[in-house]
Chain A
Amino acid sequence: MKPLLGGIMALVAGAALACLDAGTAAAQGNTAQQLQEQWNKDVVGKTVVYIPVAYSVPLTRIWGERMQMIADRLGIKYEIRDPNFDTQREEQLLEAEIGQHPDVLIVHNPNVQVLAPALQRAENAGIYVIQINMASRYKSDAFIGVQPNELGVEMADAVVKACDAPGTSHKIALMDGEVTSAYSLGIMEGATSVFKQHADIQIVSNQAANWDSKTAHDKAATVLQAHPDLCGYMGWWSGQDSGIAQAVKQAGLSNKVKIFTTDGGEQPACQYLKEGLFYEDFIYPAVLQADQMMSTAMTLLQSHTKPGTMHLAIFSPVIPTTAENVTPTSCTELSQK
């Protein structure tokens, strides 16, 4: 009697479980289908336009190629505009896009001022605006990028650690990029706040290279011959700081002057780290940022909020990379088209 009762109970329990599973499966199928419908309506076929400062720089290329890949796989119309470092041209392209009315604009600002009015007009016209890495003074729906003040603090802490130590000259030099960009200003603010707390550290030079490696090279060469006992050089972007590395190498000071730089995981930074030309590179992985850009675009499209009402901040993680911990994926290789 007992085994029979046990058997019947097991059968009933098993049947109940089976029904439950089937029910859950049916519910999951419905949800996924519902989400697919919403996805098709809100995301597929929408237009995302990307306007970097120039499309020829490794950082903006990594972003663009990654976003293109995601967009192509998911049926999003994705377009790239290239102002080629011309600020006026970038403004014109932005104005033209406002007229074309895409669904999302992903914009890289050359400085805090020039695109701010146009970005506001774009949101008033119903276009979501995502600003990347270099912000304007206008807060749009989302900012994705490195938090420059924090980056400045982190870099300066590393410089101080290396150059406040006994036995060093305590002399450091700074090589800024484009001084009026939010990115540059933020890093400078963060770094200055750290340097102020260390009276021993002497800043012997604070020059700007405007992202150009030849300018960085010439200014660094001048500084190095005046201060051959320099301990550290802090640069605002590895693309220009490669010029500093070459100047240090030509002065025969490669093992003595430590170069601290930052970028989105762009070559030749990792190569320079391995060769000892850069000491430490604060990498904010650009592929991760690109993923975040597309995800944010997809989120905004499905949120149905009025453009200009949200102010999302998605700050990028920074990975201090040295010759010891650099990996094959620390930097992103670009496709050679």
Chain B
Amino acid sequence: MRLESAEDVRINAAGDAAGVALPTRTPSRLKRLTQEQIVLITTLVLAGVFAVLIPGFATVRNILTLLNSIAVLGILSLGAAIVIIGRGLDISQVASLAIGAAMAAVVMQAGGSVPWAICCGFAVSLAIGLVNGLVIAFIEVPPLFATLATNLLMFGLAQIFIVGSTLLVYVPKSAASFLALGRNVADVPIPVLIFLGLALIVHLFLSRTRIGRFIYAHGDNPEAARLSGIPTRPLTVLEYSLCAVIGYLAGLVLMATLSSIDTQIVMGTEIFNVILVAVLGGVSLVGGRGSVLSVIAGGLLIGVMLNGMTLLNLGNDTQNIFRGLVLLAAIVGDNLLHPRDEETARHGD
């Protein structure tokens, strides 16, 4: 965590030399805010503005609808965060989402039971994660290229072997127990419960288990991690497998919500929204930084924006401008409080 900018260090050093305390540029309390907190504050301010402007915004039902709309994105970002913290990147996560879910739907259509269908889909997603992990860990292809290639490859294979050229697969009505996943329990949407439950599990995994700490170490300084005895290659395989399997869970939730899955999204831009949510909230692409709170913060900001703009009935172009400005404000705010300098920009700090 960066507490002082280089300029503040210089000011402090000059002050020490002169024997006086010079005021640094940034008030020290503000400097201690992390990126997650800045994003959360931005979200709260925005939510406050919406609550004033829109009568029905600050109601329990609307908050739950808001959370439901970011549940799938949030689940994906939790998986992406694990990989990014380990200094990786998984562009093929949506492939795990869509192709895994499509496999489950195809099995259900062929008459398989819901548990068996879910297992089949899980196997497909796990396979995607394993391929990613093995290629990146053992063949040492940079993650960006490896997962980009896997994405295309899996999409093509899925078209041939699983979904055919229509790309859209329906969940048969007979799979009622599965479709129930898209509904509510005591007025709370099940996708929201799944997202929050998974967030808790991933948080405990990353912060309280040994492997979780290893992932941070791996991302912060892979060489040092390897030299100190952490099995970085199996760890890489684990990171990408977890990312893929969490992506599969998101796929099941999405498919239960819409009663269908459109594998077309594998070739779309949803993955960049996923990475945006994680990175915006504080999961740094250089690795070793960020937490589940980052994902929640980023996800909430996106969710509040979309929900508020829909309720305000803003036009498409206005929404794009507004979204761009808010994201820019959050990023600039973080940059002003934590400016990059030689010390903090180096890997491993």
Ordered by A's residue number, 6 sampled pairs between the chains whose C-beta atoms are within 8 Å are A56-B165, A213-B258, A214-B72, A225-B61, A225-B65, A337-B165
Point out residues on B near A: beta carbons under 8 Å.
56, 61-62, 65-66, 68-69, 72, 164-168, 170, 182-184, 189, 254, 257-260, 262, 264, 267-268, 306-307, 310-311, 313, 315-316
- The reply to whether B264 and A56 form a contact with Cβ atoms under 8 Å apart is yes
Q: A58-B166, A206-B313 are in contact. Are A221 and B65 (CB under 8 A)?
A: yes
Which of B62, B69, B166, B259 sits near A226, CB closer than 8 Å?
B62
Q: Is A268 an interface residue (CB 8 A)?
A: yes
- The reply to whether B258 and A222 form a contact with Cβ atoms under 8 Å apart is no
Query: Which residues of the partner chain A approach B307 to less than 8 Å between Cβ atoms?
Result: 222
Q: A208-B316, A218-B306, A334-B166 are in contact. Are A85 and B264 (CB under 8 A)?
A: yes
* Per-residue B-contact encoding for A217-239, CB less than 8 Å = 1, 0 else: 11101110110000000000000
**19 more A-B residue pairs beyond the given contacts A205-B310, A246-B182, with a C-beta to C-beta distance below 8 A:** A56-B168, A84-B267, A179-B316, A213-B262, A214-B72, A217-B257, A218-B69, A218-B306, A219-B310, A225-B61, A225-B65, A226-B56, A226-B311, A246-B257, A246-B258, A246-B259, A250-B183, A250-B184, A337-B164
- The reply to whether B254 and A205 form a contact with Cβ atoms under 8 Å apart is no
CA distance A166 to B56 in the complex (A): 26
Q: A222-B62, A225-B65 are in contact. Are A56 and B166 (CB under 8 A)?
A: yes
Question: Least Cβ distance of B322 to chain A in Å?
Answer: 14
- The reply to whether B164 and A336 form a contact with Cβ atoms under 8 Å apart is yes
- The reply to whether A205 and B182 form a contact with Cβ atoms under 8 Å apart is no
- The reply to whether B313 and A205 form a contact with Cβ atoms under 8 Å apart is yes
Question: Least Cβ distance of B100 to chain A in Å?
Answer: 17
Query: Which residues of the partner chain B approach A84 to less than 8 Å between Cβ atoms?
Result: 264, 267
Q: A213-B258, A246-B258 are in contact. Are A268 and B170 (CB under 8 A)?
A: yes
* Chain A residue, CB-CB nearest to B56: A226
Q: A217-B257, A222-B65 are in contact. Are A250 and B182 (CB under 8 A)?
A: yes
CA distance A256 to B298 in the complex (A): 36
Question: Least Cβ distance of A92 to chain B in Å?
Answer: 16
Q: A334-B166, A336-B164 are in contact. Are A225 and B316 (CB under 8 A)?
A: no
Question: Least Cβ distance of A191 to chain B in Å?
Answer: 16
Which of B62, B164, B264 sits near A225, CB closer than 8 Å?
B62
- The reply to whether A61 and B166 form a contact with Cβ atoms under 8 Å apart is yes
- The reply to whether A214 and B267 form a contact with Cβ atoms under 8 Å apart is no
Query: Which residues of the partner chain A approach B315 to less than 8 Å between Cβ atoms?
Result: 206
Query: Which residues of the partner chain A approach B168 to less than 8 Å between Cβ atoms?
Result: 56, 58
CA distance A334 to B65 in the complex (A): 35
CA distance A179 to B260 in the complex (A): 25
- The reply to whether B69 and A221 form a contact with Cβ atoms under 8 Å apart is yes
- The reply to whether A56 and B62 form a contact with Cβ atoms under 8 Å apart is no
- The reply to whether A217 and B258 form a contact with Cβ atoms under 8 Å apart is yes
Contacting B at CB under 8 A, from A291-337, are 334, 336-337
Query: Which residues of the partner chain A approach B166 to less than 8 Å between Cβ atoms?
Result: 56, 58, 61, 334, 336
CA distance A268 to B183 in the complex (A): 21
Query: Which residues of the partner chain B approach A221 to less than 8 Å between Cβ atoms?
Result: 65, 68-69
Number of A residues near B (Cβ < 8 Å) is: 31
Query: Which residues of the partner chain A approach B56 to less than 8 Å between Cβ atoms?
Result: 225-226
CA distance A246 to B253 in the complex (A): 13
- The reply to whether B310 and A55 form a contact with Cβ atoms under 8 Å apart is no
CA distance A205 to B54 in the complex (A): 13
* Chain B residue, CB-CB nearest to A216: B258
CA distance A257 to B213 in the complex (A): 51
Q: Is A242 an interface residue (CB 8 A)?
A: yes
Query: Which residues of the partner chain A approach B164 to less than 8 Å between Cβ atoms?
Result: 336-337
Contacting B at CB under 8 A, from A177-229, are 179, 204-208, 213-214, 217-219, 221-223, 225-226
- The reply to whether A222 and B260 form a contact with Cβ atoms under 8 Å apart is no
Which of B72, B165, B257, B313 sits near A207, CB closer than 8 Å?
B313
Query: Which residues of the partner chain B approach A218 to less than 8 Å between Cβ atoms?
Result: 68-69, 306
- The reply to whether B264 and A55 form a contact with Cβ atoms under 8 Å apart is no
* Chain B residue, CB-CB nearest to A206: B313
- The reply to whether B69 and A54 form a contact with Cβ atoms under 8 Å apart is no
* Chain A residue, CB-CB nearest to B307: A222
Question: Least Cβ distance of A38 to chain B in Å?
Answer: 36
CA distance A58 to B260 in the complex (A): 14
Q: Is A52 an interface residue (CB 8 A)?
A: no
CA distance A336 to B168 in the complex (A): 11
- The reply to whether B61 and A85 form a contact with Cβ atoms under 8 Å apart is no
Q: Is A152 an interface residue (CB 8 A)?
A: no
Q: Is A243 an interface residue (CB 8 A)?
A: yes
CA distance A268 to B254 in the complex (A): 18
- The reply to whether A214 and B264 form a contact with Cβ atoms under 8 Å apart is no
- The reply to whether B68 and A85 form a contact with Cβ atoms under 8 Å apart is no
CA distance A334 to B170 in the complex (A): 14
Query: Which residues of the partner chain B approach A206 to less than 8 Å between Cβ atoms?
Result: 313, 315
Query: Which residues of the partner chain A approach B72 to less than 8 Å between Cβ atoms?
Result: 214
Closest 5 CB pairs of A and B: A218-B69, A56-B167, A222-B310, A226-B56, A225-B65
Question: Least Cβ distance of A12 to chain B in Å?
Answer: 67
CA distance A56 to B267 in the complex (A): 12
* Chain A residue, CB-CB nearest to B263: A56
CA distance A149 to B62 in the complex (A): 35
Query: Which residues of the partner chain A approach B189 to less than 8 Å between Cβ atoms?
Result: 250
Interface centre among A56, A205, A213 (most CB of B within 10 A): A56
* Chain A residue, CB-CB nearest to B54: A226
CA distance A243 to B68 in the complex (A): 14
Query: Which residues of the partner chain A approach B66 to less than 8 Å between Cβ atoms?
Result: 222
Contacting B at CB under 8 A, from A91-106, are none
CA distance A126 to B168 in the complex (A): 38
Contacting B at CB under 8 A, from A53-105, are 54-56, 58, 61, 84-85
CA distance A290 to B128 in the complex (A): 39
- The reply to whether A207 and B310 form a contact with Cβ atoms under 8 Å apart is yes
Q: A207-B313, A268-B170 are in contact. Are A85 and B62 (CB under 8 A)?
A: no
- The reply to whether A243 and B258 form a contact with Cβ atoms under 8 Å apart is yes
* Chain B residue, CB-CB nearest to A64: B165
CA distance A218 to B258 in the complex (A): 10
- The reply to whether A85 and B267 form a contact with Cβ atoms under 8 Å apart is yes
Question: Least Cβ distance of B98 to chain A in Å?
Answer: 11
Question: Least Cβ distance of B248 to chain A in Å?
Answer: 17
Query: Which residues of the partner chain A approach B260 to less than 8 Å between Cβ atoms?
Result: 213, 242, 268
